[in-house]
Amino acid sequence: MAVTDEHVESIDYQPVVGREGPRAWGVRERAVCGQLGGAQRAHDLNWLDTVSDMKTLQSRAKAAQLADLADDGRLRATASKLLVGTDVAVESNNKDVRFGLYQLQFLYLNCETGFTAPAGYRLERAQVEGCVLTNFER
């Protein structure tokens, strides 16, 4: 894992936090793990964020998620999902990584209009209106 403010992405893995930098998103410190690329294509990227302003992070993530959904009603396969804990967030587009994080009580920020989780899944209010935190994915 490398602590960095550098914006790292690839054609296969796009982080939630945008290019303008982590502080604009309410992130205090950011680390990325996985193969960053270089001579080869990046793979297995996941981002760990220590969060100083969770409401800002969730607000900006909501805007990005809604913009992505506006295209065709679904998120791009390369888009990472934001899972939040207490003052920490993980951005991942790896379902196995997210499943492990759900077991550790992280919850996915879902801002789809009218989203609801089936019985047996967690569904909590997010800090941002119009979003929920859940351990359910479609």
Whole-number average pLDDT of the chain: 89
* pLDDT at position 2: 60
Tokens of 14: 């796009």
Tokens of 135: 């351990």
pLDDT bin (cut points 50, 70, 90) of residue 38 is low
Q: For Cα atoms 125, 17, 27, give the angle at the middle one, nearest 5 degrees.
A: 75
The pLDDT tens digits for 58-108 are 999 999 999 999 988 888 888 899 999 999 999 998 899 999 999 999 999
Tokens of 18: 């945008």
List phi, psi (to 5°) of 12. -100, -25
List of residues 6+ apart from 55 with CB closer than 8 A: 26, 127, 128
